[in-house]
A and B are shown apart, each in its own frame.
Chain A
């Protein structure tokens, strides 16, 4: 059992981390979020370091919700110690590898079993996929009108190489039956109160059987950080992170739609408003449907609102673009507020679930204010919107960014 003394040590460690590591302070011109966040969200945000993490943008201490400063997205893969942290419930145990077990069961399989960490790493093929992990509510704070929830800016997202076991290999070992409709995940975290609905999520059986859907043990070549789901988390490439269960403790195959607060009414989008391809039919209602894949989107990673440049000075704008797994076809950029568009250059393709880095060089020829924009299109032909598609939970905000710069 942990003593108060141990707790103080851990806490002090967390505070000490904020002292001397790289990334302690904001870079020049960098902010705690876009100016269009609710003013209270900007005022209550601060840089703070969870144990084992760099200082990130604190949205809430408990449960911990921390977003990644945008400058970290100039790297192809987001460092583990800078990766965003998102929890719904505040009782988060430190799971030990020795005591941890994963149960594979449910009413739609024949041979339930339990595995240890060692079983998982030894008895199953280990595969790796590069994939964007993005909170469904990323950019919620930019919704107009504002909607309640964690007021995320741009940083509830990261790109990583996830390594582990195919979920379908576990389900095959358990003798999953044809009548399996959904696969249900539970993790070790829970509410402070017994009455709080446990965070349990399901995905359709067809998505669970996709070769890219994993139970990951590693992230960017290292064990998963505690705050990102150690010892194992679900990875559902292309789909938003609500399904990527952390501290995974059970997988259950069921022949009936899973009923629970976090499936319905939580994490719902209105039907027919977004160009979504992946359906979750067993959970659909007349009015809404669970969020599934990410909509095509992009982010400028090295330009600040109001940044000044000298006339005739070459500017290299960099960014990333991603979607729900079709892959990015093109990124078009505008230096003049959308009057004219040109194709950005791509960095190498890291896979259709990874984001695609892009860049664009230009030399402003006219002094004054200019507006830079970037717009991604995926291989399914979907592109970003110019106007927000409002929805009550603030999901799927892929409005084309407009960044105003000054040429002097």
Chain B
């Protein structure tokens, strides 16, 4: 559907301000994860899917976001994001 810019602004606004209270675990790469992943979804998707994915599992998830969902994440950043997710939220 065609969407005007104004409509998009309205639509992309979080439905609940509580989203801004979400905090991820501290570790190298956290700010990179926060900056990239929130383009499309709230950060709670990460702890929700833990701790049962191994590094390969997180790699598959990040690759899906880039290749299927179109997330504009550089290859070098993707590796750091996978490292962070595997370290903080891996099994």
Contact = CB atoms under 8 A, between A and B. Distances in A.
Contact of B70 (A45, A91, A193): A193
Given A48-B16, A61-B15, A148-B57, A40 B70 contact: no
Nearest to A186: B1
Interface residues of B, number: 39
A91 B12 contact: yes
A64 to B, nearest CB: 5
B40 A14 contact: no
Contacts of B44: 44, 58-61
Given A190-B3, A196-B40, A90 B12 contact: yes
Contact of B40 (A7, A187, A193): A193
B46 to A, nearest CB: 8
A60 B45 contact: yes
Contacts of B61: 148
B47 interface: yes
A194 interface: yes
A305 B3 CA distance: 47
Given A1-B6, A93-B3, A191-B69, A64 B48 contact: no
B41 A197 contact: no
In this complex, the interface size class of chain A, counting residues with CB under 8 Å from chain B, is 35 or more
Nearest to A250: B1
Contacts of B42: 60-62
A34 interface: no
A39 interface: yes
Nearest to B69: A196
Given A93-B7, A150-B48, A249 B12 contact: no
A2 to B, nearest CB: 5
A194 B15 contact: no
Given A15-B16, A197-B68, A197-B69, A38 B40 contact: no
The winner among B49, B57, B70, B89 for most chain A CB atoms within 10 A is: B49
Interface string A126-168: 0000000000000000000110111100000000000000000
A1 B9 CA distance: 9
A33 to B, nearest CB: 11
B10 to A, nearest CB: 5
Interface of A: 1-2, 7, 11-12, 14-15, 38-41, 43-46, 48-51, 58-64, 90-94, 145-146, 148-151, 186-197, 249-250, 261
Given A63-B41, A91-B11, 20 more contacts: A2-B6, A2-B9, A2-B10, A11-B15, A11-B16, A14-B16, A15-B18, A38-B52, A40-B50, A59-B44, A60-B41, A60-B44, A61-B19, A90-B12, A91-B12, A93-B7, A151-B48, A188-B1, A193-B70, A250-B1
8 contacts: A7-B13, A39-B51, A41-B48, A51-B15, A58-B44, A61-B15, A61-B22, A148-B61
